[in-house]
Amino acid sequence: MEPFFAAYREVQPFLQSTSKPDKENIQSPEQRARFDDTTKCILCAACTTSCPVFWTDGQYFGPAAIVAAHRFIFDSRDEAAQVRLDILNSKEGVWRCRTTFNCTEACPRGIEITKAISEVKQATISGVRR
């Protein structure tokens, strides 16, 4: 499980903000909906263990790490989206996904993992739209 958690840690799956808000940082329902699906991840690794790319390439981040990054890349309160996109826009990042949908089918929480990976791919090209 160490490669799984190493990839997870590398995408910095936590909220990063340099400013301290004077009050609660409220999101609109639309802002929350942008990443709501990926907040359901329980780190069970079912998606990663079902991924044929992860089986053959020990350097690939894997679906769970990308889902964790997605959750913060599209969070309107976070300020490190570009850092995560730069990490995932690498040889072993989102571009290794072959869109077999094994991860989506394996997810016990019903997360649309392949869709989330596709959205991160698009964000590496076009930038983040929150």
pLDDT digits (tens, 9 = 90+) for 62-80: 999 999 999 999 999 999 9
**Assigned CATH class of 2-13+30-126:** mainly alpha
Contact (CB, 8 A) for 91 and 29: no
pLDDT digits (tens, 9 = 90+) for 46-62: 999 999 999 998 899 99
Query: For residue 85, what are the CA distances in angstroms to 52, 63, 74, 121?
Result: 23, 14, 11, 9
Segments making up each domain of the chain, as ranges:
2-13+30-126
pTM (predicted TM-score): 0.93
